[in-house]
């Protein structure tokens, strides 16, 4: 099939910035698709105009109905970098499409600042929770951020200042690459002074951050084993050292999905997502108060996309959306002795997936010993001690030993 669908990256300079080939694809299109801003850049002609509907996926069928005619979709900058090109590739074959990118907002902002783009973290807050920015905060890290609208810079500055990252440098670029381009520079803790001067930020803006901490602020690693006090909890928490061993056994890989059963404070699911932000996790916790705690922990620790089901397993498994892929890994931190639970989880686990269960009770240990006898897997006993004061001295105080089962489903 000849390509009929063109996806054209266009900058704020409009058609003047297009290559001759891209301009020809736009000028010869029978249908132009885009947002109001993009369509307004193209002079009137004989082409039909199709405005994106909300949600944007509703327009896909309209585009598909024009298969075989010349359709040009106008997108901002690079259509495959947080752009509509990625969505279109999920619905149309690559052979049907011609994709012509322009410099992205990330490229333009990095060029203005003299930053090496390969050394920057690039992310989007367009249609995404602001709390997802927290995951990327680290001393000296440079972040390039696509904004949702003109309020995003202020909200980012407030989040940084409230989280101990107030000295971070912020640059906000409006209308990059166009005749109305302008840049604003400051620090997160002082950004409110600009806002109080009633200097509104354009909706089309890109943020550049250079992260810096206030003294006493604790930077959090993306590696497994966050400090216990990084989590809000009521004592139902997989301790730091056990958590690190457990995550090593779960072995998260890019794009994989975890089910965290009896999630408590959500620490295992949260650290899974911090390790692989493109992955997914579902935390299942029977106690509604703890489920709310999991939600707060996920937001504060930069993974607000964690799905939470406030119900007991195995009944809660029926509430998992059927369109989600089978889990690649399952962690059981509570309820392992529940009749039928391990069997139900084993049936749901994809072939080749990993199941890890931690227990401290005799009943739980009996359950995993019986399971290991039937299905195999590796057993380990994790015993920790921490120093505590006793009189004028310190002694080692042992924590409850944890028995761990780690097994892989055949196939």
Q: Tell me the CATH number at 165.
A: 3.30.950.10
186 shares its domain with 233: no
Residue 404 maps to which CATH number? 3.40.50.150
The residue among 102, 131, 164 that closes a domain is 102
pTM here is 0.92
Number of domains in the chain: 3
With respect to residue 378, please indicate whether it lies within any of the assigned structural domains: yes
Are 94 and 127 part of one and the same domain?
no
Same domain, yes or no: 344 and 390: yes
Query: How does pLDDT run along the chain (411 residues), one tens digit per residue?
Result: 689 999 999 999 999 999 999 999 999 999 999 999 999 999 877 899 999 998 888 899 999 999 999 999 999 999 999 999 999 999 999 999 999 999 999 999 999 999 999 999 999 999 899 999 999 999 999 999 999 999 999 999 999 999 999 999 999 999 999 999 999 999 999 987 766 555 688 999 999 999 999 999 999 999 999 999 999 999 889 999 999 999 999 999 999 999 999 999 999 999 999 999 999 999 999 999 999 999 999 999 999 999 999 999 999 999 998 888 899 999 999 889 888 999 999 999 999 999 999 999 999 999 999 999 999 999 999 999 999 999 889 999 999 999 999 999 998
Q: Which of 178, 210, 242 is the last residue of a domain?
A: 210
Residue where a domain stops, chosen among 102, 132, 164: 102
Q: Which domain holds residue 299?
A: 228-408
Q: How far apart are CA 214 and CA 15, in angstroms?
A: 45
């Amino acid at each position: 099939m000849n390509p009929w669908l063109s996806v054209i990256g266009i900058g704020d300079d409009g058609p003047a910035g297009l290559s001759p080939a891209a301009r020809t694809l736009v000028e010869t299109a029978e249908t132009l698709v885009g947002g109001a801003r993009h369509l307004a850049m193209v002079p009137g002609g004989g082409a039909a105009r199709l405005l994106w509907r909300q949600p944007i996926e509703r327009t896909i069928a309209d585009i598909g109905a024009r298969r075989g005619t010349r359709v040009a979709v106008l997108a901002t900058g690079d259509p495959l970098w947080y752009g509509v090109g990625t969505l279109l590739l999920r619905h149309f074959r690559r052979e049907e499409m011609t994709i012509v990118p322009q410099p992205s907002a990330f490229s333009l902002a990095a060029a203005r600042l003299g930053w090496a783009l390969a050394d920057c973290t690039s992310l989007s807050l367009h249609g995404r929770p602001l709390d997802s920015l927290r995951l990327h905060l680290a001393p000296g890290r440079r972040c390039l951020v696509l904004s949702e609208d003109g309020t995003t810079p202020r909200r980012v500055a407030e989040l940084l200042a409230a989280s101990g990252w107030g000295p971070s440098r912020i640059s906000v670029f409006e209308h990059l690459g166009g005749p109305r381009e302008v840049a604003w520079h400051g620090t997160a803790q002082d950004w409110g002074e600009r806002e109080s001067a009633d200097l509104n930020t354009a909706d089309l803006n890109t943020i550049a951050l250079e992260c810096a901490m206030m003294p006493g602020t604790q930077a959090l690693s993306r590696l497994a084993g966050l400090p216990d006090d990084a989590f809000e909890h009521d004592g139902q928490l997989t301790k730091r050292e056990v958590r690190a061993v457990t995550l090593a056994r779960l072995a998260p890989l890019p794009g994989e999905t975890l089910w965290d059963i009896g999630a408590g404070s959500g620490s295992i699911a949260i650290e899974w997502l911090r390790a692989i932000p493109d992955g997914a996790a579902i935390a299942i916790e029977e106690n509604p108060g703890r489920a709310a705690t999991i939600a707060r922990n996920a937001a504060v620790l930069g993974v607000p996309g964690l799905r939470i089901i406030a119900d007991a397993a195995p009944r809660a498994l029926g509430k998992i959306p059927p369109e989600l892929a089978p889990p690649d890994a399952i962690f059981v931190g509570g309820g392992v002795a529940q009749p039928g639970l391990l069997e139900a989880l084993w049936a749901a686990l994809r072939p080749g997936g990993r199941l890890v269960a931690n227990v401290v009770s005799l009943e739980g240990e009996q359950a995993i010993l019986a399971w290991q006898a039937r299905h195999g897997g590796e057993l380990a006993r994790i015993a920790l001690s921490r120093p505590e004061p006793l009189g004028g001295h310190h002694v080692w105080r042992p924590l409850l030993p944890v028995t761990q089962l780690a097994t892989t489903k055949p196939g």
